Structures are given as structure tokens and as C-alpha cells.
A = this chain, B = another copy of it.
Amino acid sequence: MSNLNPKIKLNKKENINIDKIYSGLLQGDRFSLGKAITLIESTKPTHKEMTKKLISECLKTQKDTLRIGITGAPGVGKSSLLEKLGMYIIEKGFKPAVLAIDPSSNISGGSILGDKTRMPELSMSENAFIRPSPAGKNLGGVAKKTNESIIAVECAGFNPIFVETVGVGQSETAVHSMTDLFILLIQPGAGDDIQGIKRGIMEMADIIVVNKADGENIINAEKTFNQYSGIISLLPEKESGWKTKIMMISALTGNGVKELWQIITEYENNAKTTGYYRKNRKNQNLSLFNEYLFNNLIEIFNTDPNLNSLYTETKKKVETGLMSYYDAGDFLLKLLTK
């Protein structure tokens, strides 16, 4: 870990001062930000309460940042691209942050490869903030924490925020639901099947980037580019009015990084001019809210000692078709509210 991106351990004896952390964030203090995220990632009930307070404060100082989701199969070069793109925009005066979600890793608090290895230059820059999300099996939990981390990172003045994930599970849908712009990174190769890209991910992408367009790969990269161009041309316009763009890049040589940033900027300008940016954020907030409400409802059914067994039994009847879903639903909601 770079000293510049500290993973602060919360000292048991230490008095955590939320006001101090918050004012640290407002000053862009990296140490406070590290502490804030460690707090966000903590599962201790007292820390959860403190997180709640901190995030409520942060929400008061919201900015019009750009949240960029980036997904792609393992080995496609997400980190290398972020390294190059990050350094490029730092030169332009930006302060990028990278939050990485790796649902396949179970090592708490970090990704398998350290940030230093993955993004050597970026992780050493004092104008960047990199942080892997704690992995875990509960995607809802990870999503909530990532969302909170985004808010904290923004509060500390970082922008844009890259949220990186491996596009093989369900995490990319979660990332899509909390970003303004979604980039799918692919590599030269023979179709989706081999790249392990799940159905629907392509539909979510605003920009498709064919990486590794360098050396001997160029011909294959062009082939892949043409294949995807064909598909994209047939996809209808997105709600944002944006037509999915596709481009080639080399994260190795840096070729195309400038053009990618141009497209990202074009997207941002377009979304902010048309009002889609605000509308999308609003819808995202509502969706996350609805999802959270539903998940917690199920949580109540699963954990309440009075409801638990009735819920399991009823659910089983629904699954096997012995009970209609609406009878079952009416029955359970009546139990809950009576």
C-alpha cells in the first residue's frame, strides 16, 4: 500500500471524532478520507451509526461530480487503463479516485494484487485516491458501502470517481446503478462467449473500449471493433439520447487515452445539458431506495423469530406452485403489519 492512500486501522481505544473526520474531508485531507472509508467498511454497530452521521453530513455538500463505472473480464486491462487515464487527467488538473469492487475476492479490505502493482504511478500520486472495496458475498452490502465511499470521496474533492468491477458477476449491475457513465472494456477476441461478458452488460455500456490495440494485436482489435460496431449500430438510442460509442485503445502505449477522455467529456456535457445527468441521479437514488426497502423487508422476514418459519414455509409453497404468489404475499404482509 502506498503511504499516500492510507488504510487506517481504527484504534479500539481511540475516540473517533466524526466532526473532525468531516472537516478533514472538506479540506481534502487524505488521512481523514482513509479513516472515513475504514469506518464505512466496518461492520461494528457503533461504527455503522457513526457512518450514518458522517454520510448525512457529506450529503449536504454534494457536487456535480462524474461517476464512471468501468467493467470488463479479468485480465482485460482495467487497471492499466485507469493508470494511464488517471495520470492523463491529473495533468489536466483533475483529482481522480478509483474505487474497485472485486466480488470474487474474499480477502477483507483489499484486492489480490496490491494497488502499487496494479496502478504503480497513480497509487503514488498525491492527486489520486485509490481504494479497493472490501469484498464479500453480500453484494447488497458491498453496493451500499461503495455508495457511501463515493459520497465520502466526493466530499474530499475527488472527481471523477472511477468505480471498477469485474464484469462476470452481478456487481456490474450494481456499479451501473450508481454511476453516471458506464464503460465496458473488451479485448481482441472471438465474441462475447470467450470474453465471458454477461448478457445485458453490452446494453448498459455507454462507451465500449477495445483494449490491447497494439503490436500484433491490432488486426484482431480491428476485427473486434468492427464486430461490436455492427451490433451497436443496431441498438436503439439510450434514454439519455446517447448512442453507445466504440473505440480502440492501448493501455500499454497510451494510444487512444486522450480520445477516450474526449468522449467521456462529450458524454458529460451532453448529459448535463439535456438534464439527463440530474434525472439519472434522481432515478438511481429512487431505485437504490426501493431495492434497499425490499431487501430489508426480506431481511425482517428472514430474521424475525415470529415470522421466519412462516416465511420459509410460504415461500416454498410459492416456489412449487402450491400457493399463488399473491395469496402468499397478502398473507405475509398482513402478518407484518398487524
Chain A stretch 19-48: residues in CB contact (< 8 A) with chain B = none
Supposing A281-B321, A297-B294, A323-B59 touch, asked if A199 and B236 sit within 8 A by C-beta, the answer is yes
Cβ of A191: which chain B residues have Cβ within 8 Å of it? Answer: 233-234
Q: Bound complex: CA of A327 vs CA of B58, how far in Å? A: 14
- Please give the count of copies of this chain that the complex contains: 2
Chain A stretch 280-303: residues in CB contact (< 8 A) with chain B = 281-282, 285-286, 288-290, 292-294, 296-298, 300
Q: Closest chain B residue to A295 by CB distance?
A: B329
Chain A stretch 140-172: residues in CB contact (< 8 A) with chain B = 144, 147-148, 151
Q: Is A197's beta carbon under 8 Å from chain B?
A: yes
Q: Is A113's beta carbon under 8 Å from chain B?
A: no
- Interchain CB contact under 8 A, A325 and B200: no
Q: Bound complex: CA of A318 vs CA of B315, how far in Å? A: 31
Q: Is A55's beta carbon under 8 Å from chain B?
A: yes
Q: Is A126's beta carbon under 8 Å from chain B?
A: no
- Interface stretch among A86-94, A129-137, A248-256, A330-338? A330-338
The proximity string for A residues 168-185 relative to B, scoring 1 for CB distances below 8 Å and 0 otherwise, is: 000000000000000000
Q: Bound complex: CA of A60 vs CA of B317, how far in Å? A: 12
- Interchain CB contact under 8 A, B144 and A296: no
Q: Is A324's beta carbon under 8 Å from chain B?
A: yes
Cβ of A192: which chain B residues have Cβ within 8 Å of it? Answer: 234-236
Q: Which of B198, B227, B231, B296 contacts A329 (CB 8 A)?
A: B296
* Interface SS, A side: helix
- Interchain CB contact under 8 A, B285 and A327: no
- Interchain CB contact under 8 A, B237 and A193: yes
Q: Closest chain B residue to A281 by CB distance?
A: B321
Q: Is A121's beta carbon under 8 Å from chain B?
A: no
- Interchain CB contact under 8 A, A321 and B234: no
- Interchain CB contact under 8 A, A294 and B294: yes
Cβ of A200: which chain B residues have Cβ within 8 Å of it? Answer: 200, 203
Q: Closest chain B residue to A283 by CB distance?
A: B319
- Interchain CB contact under 8 A, A332 and B293: yes
Q: Bound complex: CA of A69 vs CA of B296, how far in Å? A: 33
The winner among A147, A281, A324 for most chain B CB atoms within 10 A is A324
Q: Is A272's beta carbon under 8 Å from chain B?
A: no
Q: Which of B52, B199, B326 contacts A235 (CB 8 A)?
A: B199
Cβ of A238: which chain B residues have Cβ within 8 Å of it? Answer: 199
- Interchain CB contact under 8 A, A144 and B227: no
Q: Bound complex: CA of A321 vs CA of B322, how far in Å? A: 43
Q: Which of B144, B323, B336 contacts A337 (CB 8 A)?
A: B336
Question: What 5 A-B pairs come out closest when comparing CB atoms?
Answer: A289-B325, A292-B329, A288-B325, A294-B294, A289-B318
A sample of 11 cross-chain residue pairs with beta-carbon separation below 8 angstroms, ordered by A number, consists of A151-B324, A192-B234, A192-B235, A192-B236, A198-B236, A281-B321, A285-B320, A289-B318, A290-B298, A292-B329, A336-B336
